Structure 1
């Protein structure tokens, strides 16, 4: 079976996803090399990182019969080592997510084609692999394919107060690419690509000095609380990589009569940059402010969770309280922060960079880096980060924490979005953050709890 054209190419990619032959690496293995790829020593195949090299065998012709033959040989050779095969799935899924997001080809995949691929996968895997493996294949496909129309969740009482529209992410094009984005009121800003995966952008002079000073003054008047979290390299958290380690002061700027005009202006600018209705910004979490004195840092972490079909987004539900504390982003719900928009409120004399260790890195490279238990420690590994952004007053940076699903809603998390704050060595670092919260397609009609609070 050979396919031609963009739609045919992407259909073939979906098939090869199930065959686990499409990798994140450029280039391909020819027939002789591919044969060598699958004949690895049995001891090597137990190593998931080394195992991923098998997944690099890719034929230029997209001949899926050949791909299936290679895959069959791999499975037979590995004696059904599911944990090793799952490495191929991760690499393949990562590549497909990037392709669908950045090449605007997701609309060319029909639901019928996807269903046939899923059915074909079950038939071919039934004699080879166990039910757990097939479950993971189904889960991966659910990251790429939208929920059915009849899966839409209606709000209680049936009243739709706001429907989250389809999102369109800014295209990074390539590192160093500059583009002008109209943010409303005939105002445009320069957007510079810092990395393609995740899409990471720098926006110079996004905020005026007066606006930056206003946020700092408002934060000082309200008061900041200190967060000091020290984590060992092998510490296990119950849900995500939040708070792997940090030393900072922080507060939230809640809407009030005194600041509503200022916050509305900032929300409109953010909405213009992200190309979403201003309600998306307003109904997300309130503006968060952080302050870092010399020695302050925030180790590498994700701003969002892996999308889980069984859990609602935290910004759309209220979790139960235990001993007066809300169990947000634990068992009750998941963080659905599609994007992060970070503002630098002041200059830092030395240090304090925002670091992205895995920007534009391949998954095998990420896996190798994560073998070091201290990989997230930015007091140790700041200079090794793939991208570092120096704080500069008025500058903003934007990055997307999730891929989009086919309909333009919350898809799988992009693990290249790991980031953190390097040690402040001299001076004081001030930042403010808008976390852009977005729902899964089936929850697009449900209101944000922040809307409900502002409506009271």
Structure 2
């Protein structure tokens, strides 16, 4: 059998170093949560002599003040909203009754009219010439936890130890029965057999999928839907992002979660990579997400389960390696271990920033790697959810605030009983 047909070339040193190189980049963003560092600045427009005529502004970001802090928003005539800080690291904000019941029903109807489709795990179905394995301790063999993470990285599937042992049994991989897979044992399995069985196993056990839901991606660029346009403006005004350089993503994602429906933890945006342009700034398919903020709109109540989960919110310290090894990304199985869980409620908005500002460059800065988020499994009933992402082009002077856009800030809960 040709080497290219084997499951993997088991290079312990290279793979071990590769795994730790990816995991060991742990950031301490404490300073950024307090005061973003100023950049050198850029010029948007120069005169003939090279003098700067127009400079970008720092990308706006609300100050959460402290966990439990309430901000009173008067962003619409005769309508008051209360914004609560749920987390400072990352900054997560909650607004009850942000949408009316009719607005929620309207977005659901838009999704139904377009048609909902089962979520597709593209990572699992894409062709692979080889599979990279994660031998964290470089001992030349994979324990069940290392194999679990290898499967997550290659196929975006989420197995527990029992599932991994079933894979070993069905493929007859563990020839000596020690629950460890050596290089020799791994080389006896072909890539195609391994991939096909993993996909078959996940199809038979859909709870192992990274997300189990139905969804509709609704094109919203240039939409003439008056209800959505009103919601969009409400979002931008709540975040004080009312400028031509700010835009929402081209699609509104509406999701329906039925029994056991879930979404495992992930980060909504991507780190800064100079060689890759932001997807909203290019027509190229080779790009990266640059989603400054995420707006999650809860469109229904849920009988049981279905909380929005943030596994590492408000952590004093954060280790990407520990998050992976501890399996806390698997919210279908370990939802209760998340640091922050937000109960779904019809009309509620949950908002967080995926990136820090970058000072006065007018661009988004480093990604906030504590923004792991997902949805716990629905245990009774169903759940409807919409997601909208905020993109930033180079930010220029914001428009003046209208008089009715006053904001009152208080540490006390201002909501009437």
TM range (shorter): 0.5 to 0.7
Q: In the alignment, which residue of structure 1 is the partner of 2:333?
A: 380
Alignment partners' CA distance in 1, 2:296 and 2:245: 16
Give SS of 1:360's match.
coil
Alignment partners' CA distance in 2, 1:185 and 1:416: 36
Deviation of 1:316 (Å): 1.0
Partners of 2:149 and 2:324 within 8 A in 1: no
Partners of 1:339 and 1:436 within 8 A in 2: yes
Give the one of 228, 231, 235 matched to 2:151: 235
Give the one of 340, 352, 374 matched to 2:294: 340
Structure with higher strand content:
2
Deviation of 1:295 (Å): 1.2
The total of aligned residue pairs comes to 296
Alignment partners' CA distance in 2, 1:240 and 1:409: 31
**Structure 1: tracts of 5 or more residues without a match:** 1-46, 49-82, 108-144, 155-162, 320-326, 446-456
Q: In the alignment, which residue of structure 1 is the partner of 2:64?
A: 172
Change (3 A) 1:289 1:175: same
Q: In the alignment, which residue of structure 2 is the partner of 1:390?
A: 343
Deviation of 1:411 (Å): 0.5
Change (3 A) 1:387 1:289: same
Q: In the alignment, which residue of structure 2 is the partner of 1:96?
A: 31
Q: In the alignment, which residue of structure 2 is the partner of 1:277?
A: 242
**Structure 2: tracts of 5 or more residues without a match:** 1-15, 47-54, 125-147, 158-207, 397-417
TM-score normalised to structure 1 length: 0.58
Give SS of 2:119's match.
strand
Give SS of 2:350's match.
strand
Alignment partners' CA distance in 2, 1:313 and 1:348: 35
Change (3 A) 1:280 1:433: farther
Alignment partners' CA distance in 1, 2:77 and 2:351: 21
Structure with higher helix content:
1
RMSD: 3.5
Deviation of 1:314 (Å): 0.3
Q: Where in structure 2 are the equivalents of 1:59-98 lying within 5 Å?
A: 90-92=26-28, 94-98=29-33
Change (3 A) 1:228 1:169: same
Give SS of 1:342's match.
strand
TM-score normalised to structure 2 length: 0.63
Alignment partners' CA distance in 2, 1:380 and 1:276: 37
Deviation of 1:188 (Å): 3.3
Q: Where in structure 2 are the equivalents of 1:305-344 lying within 5 Å?
A: 305-319=270-284, 327=285, 332-344=286-298
Q: In the alignment, which residue of structure 2 is the partner of 1:220?
A: 112
